[in-house]
Structure 1
Amino acid sequence: MSDEGGGERKSYHHGNLRAALVDATLELITEKGPTGFTLAEAARHAGVSAAAPYRHFKGREELIEEVALIGFDMFADLLEHAFTKGPTGSPLEAFYRVGRAYLAFARRYPGHYIAMFESGVSIAGNSELTHVSNRAMAVLTRAAEALMEHIPIAKRPPAIMVSHHIWALSHGIVELFARGTPGGRAPFSPDELLESGTGIYLRGLGILKD
């Protein structure tokens, strides 16, 4: 909490101003959305002066970019762990684990997820964001490649196409069924919707056989 008289949080005096602002922004994004607060409000929420954020960030958008960057790094780590460190099993099971990890991240880290995918942050305009977002996508593409190893190369659909389609399906399920939006009353869980939708899609491509 702030010291009486508008003093800054003790964490700031310990050199944690950047982290305190990120934490405050995560709470505000989750509560109000990425455009529902100002940089001054983030500063108040962090218990620091209105001028303090400018020591690290030019404005709110740059602060949100930092939240997205941290989120993508966590996201890529989680997907990588799901793909390579999960229980032994088939490539299909590894593929499903990556999809479930996607949904789990959105549930557990809504502030990061919103900053990454719903804030309008320019990934292409930030080299660090481009790198970490590509790292996350690469995990899903590798999972798709492993899933299609049994198919002759000439007959395989592009792995990057498969990974982008599954990414889009996962994001749609998060938006409609995982965060209490109007579609959230589906009779199936988000994980069940993703797994069944993925199965239908893969069968349509001939990657899975009945």
Structure 2
Amino acid sequence: MADRKTYHHGNLRQALVDATAALVEAQGPQAFTLTEAARRAGVSAAAPYRHFKNREDLLEEVARQGFEEFALRLERAFDGGAPQPLTAFLRMGQAYLDFASDRPGFYMAMFESGISIAGNAELASASERAQGVLVAAADALAQRLPEGNRPPARMVANHIWAMSHGVVELFSRGKPGSRSPVAPSEMLESGAIIYLRGLGLIPS
């Protein structure tokens, strides 16, 4: 009966995605099963196979949706570089931390599940969209330098992404370093400023 009701509302696929995100948050990305996701969504154990080939396929959809929301949050935070690129760039750092805190199941599916992003075209596109915001922001910061002295925007974006992920993994979400007297947001902002200053992207 629950299965038919879900289909009546046309939301079984999304119900499974949301159920999986919750399971990933609670158990980690390797521990959940399709049967558990189906049970949490209130449908039969066979129902997920109408939309997903296997648990990896479902996990990839969770990650894809996560990257889409993540990219949107970064785009809103950057806001075209207003009122000036550095302020907008640092806002994105907070948006990164907020997403990891607000949507841990999706974040873990994106970055901690071991899925192959390159093997799924839609997932790869969503991931690239998110990275593209950071690349555009890094490029905007570099405009103050002569063209020949500008560091590669994608390199800068990747370094900042890695720094942000490191702060999340070590100092957020109950990780061992979360007892640090320095807030994760302050740690990320100070680290980003030191890095950008070292590249000459912001004045010393």
* Length-normalised TM-score, structure 2: 0.96
CA contact (8 A) 1:91 1:146 kept: yes
Equivalent residue number for residue 24 of structure 2: 29
Q: Quote how far apart the aligned CAs of 1:123 are.
A: 0.5
Give unmatched runs, 5+ long, in structure 2.
Answer: none
Give runs of aligned pairs for residues 39-118 of structure 1, distance below 5 A. Answer: 39-84=34-79, 88-118=82-112
Q: Is the 8 A contact 2:3 2:47 kept in 1?
A: no
Cα distance between partner residues in 2 of 1:187 and 1:116: 28
Matched, 1:15 2:15: no
CA RMSD of aligned residues (A): 1.4
For the Cα contact (< 8 Å) 1:9–1:46, is it kept in 2? no
Deviation, 1:208, is 1.9
Q: CA deviation at 1:46?
A: 0.9
Distance in structure 2 (CA, Å) of the matches to 1:198 and 1:85? 19
Structure 1: which amino acid aligns with 2:106? H
Shift, 1:209, TM fit: 2.1
**Contact 1:44 1:50 (C-alpha < 8 Å) held by counterparts:** yes
Q: 1:206 to 1:164 in 2, by over 3 A?
A: same
Residues 193 and 9 from structure 1, CA distance in 2 versus in 1: closer, same or farther, beyond 3 angstroms?
Answer: farther
Query: Is the 8 Å Cα contact of residues 83 and 143 (structure 1) preserved in structure 2?
Result: yes
Per-residue deviation, residues 75-103 of structure 1 (Å, max 9, x unmatched): 111111111168x4221001101111111
Equivalent residue, structure 2, for 1:159: 153
Task: Give the Cα separation in 2 of the matches to 1:205 and 1:14.
Answer: 53
Matched, 1:121 2:115: yes
Give the alignment partner of residue 188 of structure 2, picking from 170, 173, 194.
Answer: 194
Structure number with higher helix proportion:
2
Quote the Cα distance in structure 2 between the aligned partners of 1:52 and 1:129. Answer: 23
Instruction: Give the Å deviation of 1:9.
Output: 6.8
Give the alignment partner of residue 139 of structure 2, picking from 127, 145, 170: 145
Q: How far does the alpha carbon of each residue in 1:24-76 deviate from its partner, in whole angstroms, 9 at most, with x for none?
A: 10110000011112111111111111111000011111100010111111111
Q: Displacement, 1:15? A: 2.0
- DSSP 3-state at the match of 1:8: helix
Alignment coverage as a number of residue pairs: 204
> What percent of counterpart residues are identical?
62
Taking structure 1 as the reference length, the TM-score comes to: 0.93
SS at match of 2:196: helix
Q: What letter matches 2:146 in structure 1?
A: P
Distance 1:116 1:129, change over 3 A: same
Distance in 2, matches of 1:56 and 1:107, equals: 28
For residues 152 and 113 of structure 2, the distance between their equivalents in structure 1, rounded to whole angstroms, comes to 29
